[in-house]
Structure 1
Amino acid sequence: MSVFDLFWIFLIFSTMFPALQRRLLEEARTRLIRQIERRRGTRLITMIHRQETIGFFGLPISRYIDIEDSEQVLRAIRLTPPDMPIDLILHTPGGLVLAAEQIAQALVRHPAKVTVFIPHYAMSGGTLIALAADEIVMDENAVLGPVDPQLGQYPAASILKVVETKPLAHIEDHTLILADIARKAMAQVRSTVIELLTANGMEEERAAAIAEALSSGRWTHDYPISVREAQALGLPVRVGLPEEIYHLMEMFPQATPRRPSVEYIPMPYRHEGPGPRPTAGR
């Protein structure tokens, strides 16, 4: 066998091996999803967005909730019998309001119980989707986020604040137009939150208070709402993710190989007490 033949074998192997790895990983995810579904008697849907996903000419491209996601989730819901509960694993920074609202409305209309699992974070549109669930199960360190609408790079509430505090004669027409859109966007999101919460049996007054807190711009858009804060608001949140959820999350690795910024030995430790103290040499 010549060096040229070895080169072609290496080239073919290096080309096919990543595809084989992806296929094996997909099969492992499917097996674990089926295992969770059988144990819980539910349809399990995952919507997992990595913040740093793929590189295109050296530029990182982030994933977020988009129309394709809403199409796939809505199709999964349509394929689920009305009497079968739905479990949804959410890991997302947010995304398009339209797509998030479509998913939330479809979930809240599902007759059987809907449970959302949040192992790390579900911000913005992810929180809006979580509000459609009958129960939100979070890791004790996981967070939700405000759902106040954003117009481009500016929060809608901040645009309205400018109009309220600055003389009208000194405000540009463009800003006034943005303020009009911001007012409508905030009213729409607030109405959606109330609709989702009351559809699951919450009193309207309580739902309105939660909607005001989440959509009024009380916090910055990236403010992390902890489990304790979410419970204090009155959301149906509890702590205690099934161990399989963590295993499933490990099967959604970073898309591009890169040097990890966090490293540890990936196995549970058992505390066995402190070891012998080091002594100074003589």
Structure 2
Amino acid sequence: MYSFIFELFWMIFILSMFIPFFKAYSQKSARETLIRQLEVKRKSRVITLIHRQESMSFFGLTFGRYITIEDSEEILRAIKLTPPDMPIDLILHTPGGLVLAAEQIARALVKHKGKVTVFVPHYAMSGGTMIALAADEIVMDPNAVLGPLDPQLGGYPAPSILSVLEKKNINEIDDQTLILADIAKKAMNQVMDFVTCLLKEKVGEEKAKQLAETLCSGKWTHDYPLTVDALKQMGIPVSENMPQEVYQLMDLYKQTEQRRPSVQYIPVPYRGGERGTSQESRKNS
């Protein structure tokens, strides 16, 4: 009896180790199938850059993700494998990340001769916004947002570091802050120049400089949401024709499972008449 229980325990333990791998493989296959369907429909190369909190192994450890050099390496390779005249569709969902990596991706997209479309189903902040601005067309969900592009140094916005020089006598500022301010000024100039280059073909050089100043000068906090309406008012062309396949693909990148989900709903689309029917049923009961 004890031997059977012991063997059963080890079988369950071994299965618990392999189930996450089987589940990950199944999800990967489902993602690739849907990506291929979207490619056939749009006659394009579909690339995803999706960062969410993910779970690793049976311990359930989680970690946040952001744009890294590894991401830029993979995307540059995908672009290189794409014929020059083939359109590229990039599905973007990210809080941002390394400026170097984001710039590399943006430059590669600009150089691609085929049409580049960036789809933003939820948000693309910071470096994600920089990548979106490199596209020939930005397609966003009506409730999706982009974000400001002010560089961050040591956890502080570059414009805020520079403001210290305006508010204090230079003799009262320590050397480390002065060095940081010098780097902050260079970083801001570099990002503004790059954003101007990204936008000048779309809106003209003078308008591009104005937009770069607005996005990079620290007018807002770094997590300020730039909505579709706000982007249109700024003069950045944005479309809202999001393919349904993009939403379906996002469903395959679910947040890590927890003991009690933070958000819960019945995951089916409702028709307008169903609400009235349910209300009528409650009245009759």
Distance 1:169 1:55, change over 3 A: farther
Which digits, 9 at most, give the CA deviation of each residue in 1:9-37, with x for residues without a partner? 32333222221111111111110000000
CA drift of 1:278 comes to: 6.3
* Partners of 2:123 and 2:145 within 8 A in 1: yes
CA drift of 1:240 comes to: 2.1
Which amino acid in 1 is paired with 2:280?
Answer: P
Q: Distance between the aligned counterparts of 2:281 and 2:9, measured in 1?
A: 54
Distance 1:59 1:35, change over 3 A: closer
Aligned ranges for residues 131-170 of structure 1 at < 5 Å? 131-170=133-172
CA drift of 1:211 comes to: 0.5
* Partners of 2:203 and 2:235 within 8 A in 1: no
Match of 1:187 in 2: 189
Distance 1:62 1:278, change over 3 A: closer
* Partners of 1:54 and 1:62 within 8 A in 2: no
Match of 1:73 in 2: 75
The alignment status of 1:251 with 2:252, answered yes or no, reads yes
The alignment status of 1:276 with 2:280, answered yes or no, reads yes
CA drift of 1:7 comes to: 3.1
Distance 1:165 1:78, change over 3 A: same
Match of 1:262 in 2: 263
CA drift of 1:233 comes to: 1.2
CA drift of 1:257 comes to: 4.0
CA drift of 1:261 comes to: 0.3
Match of 1:202 in 2: 203
Q: Distance between the aligned counterparts of 2:25 and 2:56, measured in 1?
A: 20
* Partners of 1:49 and 1:93 within 8 A in 2: yes
Which amino acid in 1 is paired with 2:194?
Answer: T
Normalised to the residue count of structure 1, the TM-score between the two structures is 0.93
Q: Distance between the aligned counterparts of 2:43 and 2:114, measured in 1?
A: 12
The alignment status of 1:127 with 2:129, answered yes or no, reads yes
CA drift of 1:169 comes to: 1.7
Q: Distance between the aligned counterparts of 2:14 and 2:41, measured in 1?
A: 41
Q: Distance between the aligned counterparts of 1:169 and 1:207, measured in 2?
A: 37
Q: Distance between the aligned counterparts of 2:217 and 2:176, measured in 1?
A: 22
Aligned ranges for residues 1-282 of structure 1 at < 5 Å? 2-50=4-52, 52-54=53-55, 60-198=62-200, 200-272=201-273, 273=276, 275-276=279-280
Q: Distance between the aligned counterparts of 2:175 and 2:161, measured in 1?
A: 13
Q: Distance between the aligned counterparts of 1:80 and 1:139, measured in 2?
A: 26
Q: Which runs of 5+ in 2 are unaligned?
A: none
* Partners of 1:48 and 1:92 within 8 A in 2: yes
Distance 1:8 1:171, change over 3 A: closer
CA drift of 1:193 comes to: 0.2
* Partners of 2:62 and 2:256 within 8 A in 1: no
* Partners of 1:134 and 1:236 within 8 A in 2: no
CA drift of 1:87 comes to: 0.3
Q: Which runs of 5+ in 1 are unaligned?
A: none
CA drift of 1:55 comes to: 6.8
Residue identity (%): 59
Q: Distance between the aligned counterparts of 1:249 and 1:30, measured in 2?
A: 12
Which digits, 9 at most, give the CA deviation of each residue in 1:46-104, with x for residues without a partner? 00001x33479887521000000000000000000001000000000000000000000
SS at match of 1:191: helix
* Partners of 2:51 and 2:65 within 8 A in 1: yes
Distance 1:158 1:19, change over 3 A: same
Which amino acid in 2 is paired with 1:241?
Answer: M
Greater percentage in helix:
2
SS at match of 1:21: helix
